[in-house]
Amino acid sequence: MEQNAAKAAQAPTLGWSVLEATGVDVAQCYQCGKCTAGCPMARYMDLMPHQVMRLVQIGDAAAEEKLLGCATLWSCAGCLTCTQRCPKELDAAAVMDALRQMAYDRKKTSPKQKKVLAFHEAFLKTVESDGRMSEFALVRRYKMASMDFISDVALAPAMFARGKLKFAGHKTAGRKEVQKIFAACRKRGDR
């Protein structure tokens, strides 16, 4: 019994994990709500940004489960409005990024966000492969992963005509270095 209590005391809390990943001490958040008030994506979220910060502060298993399975993490646009509005200068956007990475690593992504996750993975694979963003490669990977082949197919001809979508992607000369960065992140367990 005492061993279990000792292990629980040594286990890092969610707040500690976020602090370690981002340098943001969520304990300083006093729930003013400015992050939520300024968030342009709040209407698409199941948890508001200030609620995310509060759940990280609580940090128990139930809070962690609720956070890592919520759609909010994948609805966040990363625009940094929440960070700019915070009177305590806390980087709520970095907290969202860290939680999104935790959810991704633990495979606890909200089923409602399947397409967002498919886009996230397609984006990262495209940058890793080409050393930069290639729209056609991104669209191809996304469509294959999401199995959403026809929802926006009517946009393709106009995009091709305007030069916005090219069949041949451009690979950068430094793509080997970019691939090394991705390999180092995988080795560290960041991705």
Domain ranges, ordered by start, for the chain = 8-109, 113-188
**pLDDT band of 11, cuts 50, 70, 90:** low
6 pLDDT higher than 70 = no
The whole model's pTM is what? 0.72
Q: From CA 145, how far away is CA 150, in angstroms rounded?
A: 13
Task: Compute CA distances 183 → 57, 104, 129, whole Å.
Answer: 32, 17, 12
Q: What are phi and psi of 120, to 5 degrees?
A: -55, -50
**Assigned fold of 8-109:** Fumarate Reductase Iron-sulfur Protein; Chain B, domain 2 (1.10.1060)
Nearest Cα neighbor of 20 from 107, 84, 98 is: 98
Top-confidence residue, 7 or 75: 75
What is the predicted pLDDT for the residue at 47?
95
Q: From CA 104, how far away is CA 95, in angstroms rounded?
A: 14
CB 136 within 8 A of CB 106: no
Average of pLDDT values for 125-132? 86
Please tell me whether residue 23 adopts helix, strand or coil conformation. Answer: coil
1 pLDDT higher than 90 = no
30 pLDDT higher than 90 = yes
